[in-house]
Amino acid sequence: MQKRKSRGRSSGSSTRKPKATHPATPRQRQIVTFIRDYTHKNGYSPTYDEIAAEFDISKVTVFEHLTKLEDLGLLTKDPHKARSLVLADHVELPDERPSCIRLLGRIAAGRPIEAIEDSRVVDLETMFHSSHPTYALEVRGDSMIDDHIADGDYVIVENRPNPYNGDIVVALVENGEATLKRFYREKSRIRLQPANPKYHPIYTTNPHIQGVVIGVIRRTQ
């Protein structure tokens, strides 16, 4: 007796394609970012003409980009309305990473100046980018206070073993302790100089340099 072939769906049926979360091309990222910033500033989305003028491209090219973004599920638009562009809630943009903080303008620490809203961001990841691996250390003590590095601050360190004179370094000295000091080469020794007159320099001939400080982060209480 011939067996009948099953017409039911197999358990290995194709799965749903993952939802896109970010634009596919740099230009699309620029357009989405412009739509977001324009809408945030004005309360409504830009027109096709305004997008075309912003990037010096044709209205046809704008339509093609927006159609692709709509196909990706990153925005919706109404062809019968001029300002109907709405970004999807799940859109991810480079300047919205956790390491990015919105830059709203400049402010003087002396006499007052106008703080102007700015659409740029301070990207901590880019700011402390290095060709060497980087890591952070929490500072304990006040030996570098005159270099504006206080107890409780975080120093960003690049893993570079060959510092220049005057660099602030993380050094492992003979007693096995790590210290944060300025590095100076002298005739027959290395001077690790604190930035606080209460402390004396450390003199050594063979410190193990674990890294060079490239930034400081302070969180006010």
Q: What is the pLDDT of residues 84-143, one digit of tens each?
A: 899 888 887 765 565 555 554 554 445 555 555 555 666 666 677 777 788 888 898 899
DSSP SS3 for 208: strand
More confident residue, 154 or 111: 154
For the ranges 60-69, 118-127, 155-164, 181-190, which has the lowest average pLDDT? 118-127
- Over range 47-53, report the average pLDDT: 93
pLDDT band at 82 (very low <50, low <70, confident <90, very high): confident
CA end-to-end distance (rounded Å), the chain: 83
User: Can you give the pLDDT at residue 80?
Assistant: 82
Q: How far apart are CA 102 and CA 6, in angstroms?
A: 59
Q: Where are the domains positioned within the chain? A: 26-94, 130-217
Six token digits for residue 85: 């562009």
pLDDT over 70 for what percent of the chain? 76
Catalytic residue list: 143, 181
Cβ(94)–Cβ(36) below 8 Å: no
User: Can you give the pLDDT at residue 55?
Assistant: 92
The per-residue b/e assignment along 57-78, b for 16 or more CB within 10 angstroms, e otherwise, is: eeeeebeebbeebeebebbebe
CATH architecture for the domain at 26-94: Orthogonal Bundle (1.10)
With residue 202 as reference, give the H or E element that holds it. Answer: strand 202-204
Cβ(194)–Cβ(180) below 8 Å: no
Mean pLDDT for all residues in the chain = 80
Q: How far apart are CA 174 and CA 160, in angstroms?
A: 19
Domain 130-217 classification at class level: mainly beta
User: Can you give the pLDDT at residue 8?
Assistant: 45
User: Can you give the pLDDT at residue 41?
Assistant: 81
Q: How far apart are CA 217 and CA 51, in angstroms?
A: 38
pLDDT band at 18 (very low <50, low <70, confident <90, very high): low
pLDDT band at 25 (very low <50, low <70, confident <90, very high): confident
The per-residue b/e assignment along 190-210, b for 16 or more CB within 10 angstroms, e otherwise, is: bebbbbeeeeeebebeebebb
